[in-house]
Amino acid sequence: MPIITRLKAGQRDPTRVNLYLDDQFAFSLSAEVVISQSLKVGLNLTTLELTTLRSMGEEERLLAKILNFLSYRPRSRREVEDRLKKYLYKQDNQATTIASILERLEKLNYIDDLEFATWFVESRMNHSPRSTRLLTSELIQKGIDRSTISQVLASFANNSQALTTLINKKSHLQEDKLISHLARRGFSYSEIKDALSKKAE
């Protein structure tokens, strides 16, 4: 059986520990795993223990990468799952590893589709207003279910308010260009004409 001959803190990341078996580098683990598994120099590892530790090490590495992915902005569960699939492309244990990491992230409140959808809609409404139809389509693409979308959209401005905000922001545009711009934001022609008529009154 292989024996642990060295445990050395990583130079780039001191929270990682490099594990050496029979004086040869084997793989790295988080310090948390090393402590929880009571790993120490001189410990003999069975094949099963070694396989388990390798899997734990890989999951910890992926978790660190995903946490970095989440650090830039909130993500939906599907976005995280899709990124994990890229990291685990063609690996045999892909589904099991992804399910385990997603479960850990949800327990730690790093992913929450309701919070993500709320942030997404609020961001759009504040910086780039658009119709509820377009918002719904964008959120569906992010993997958000319709009940969550309905719940979130009910708390924000309706179409007419978003449309009025956009018209005021783009009032410098000629009418035909303004109509095209509003249409690209998901508003129907009838909604646009109605809003423009009310503004002209």
- Top-confidence residue, 30 or 81: 81
Please tell me the predicted confidence (pLDDT) of residue 200: 63
For residue 21, pLDDT over 90 is answered with yes
- Give the residue from 46, 48, 44, 51 showing the smallest Cα distance to 27: 51
Q: What is the DSSP string of 163-195?
A: HHHHHHHTTTS-HHHHHHHHHHTT--HHHHHHH
Mean pLDDT, the chain, integer: 88
Q: How confident is the model at residue 173 (pLDDT cuts 50, 70, 90)?
A: confident
Please tell me the predicted confidence (pLDDT) of residue 157: 62
Please tell me the predicted confidence (pLDDT) of residue 77: 97
Please tell me the predicted confidence (pLDDT) of residue 197: 81
Q: Which long-range contacts (CB under 8 A, 24 or more apart) does 149-157 make?
A: 149/117, 151/114, 152/114, 152/117, 152/118, 152/121, 153/121, 155/118, 156/121, 156/122, 156/125, 157/125, 157/129
For residue 201, pLDDT over 70 is answered with no
CB burial string 105-117: b at 16+ within 10 A, e below: beeeebbebeebb
Q: How confident is the model at residue 166 (pLDDT cuts 50, 70, 90)?
A: confident
Write out pLDDT tens, residues 83-125: 999 988 877 778 888 999 999 999 989 999 999 999 999 898 8
Please tell me the predicted confidence (pLDDT) of residue 70: 94
Q: What is the mean pLDDT of residues 10-29?
A: 89
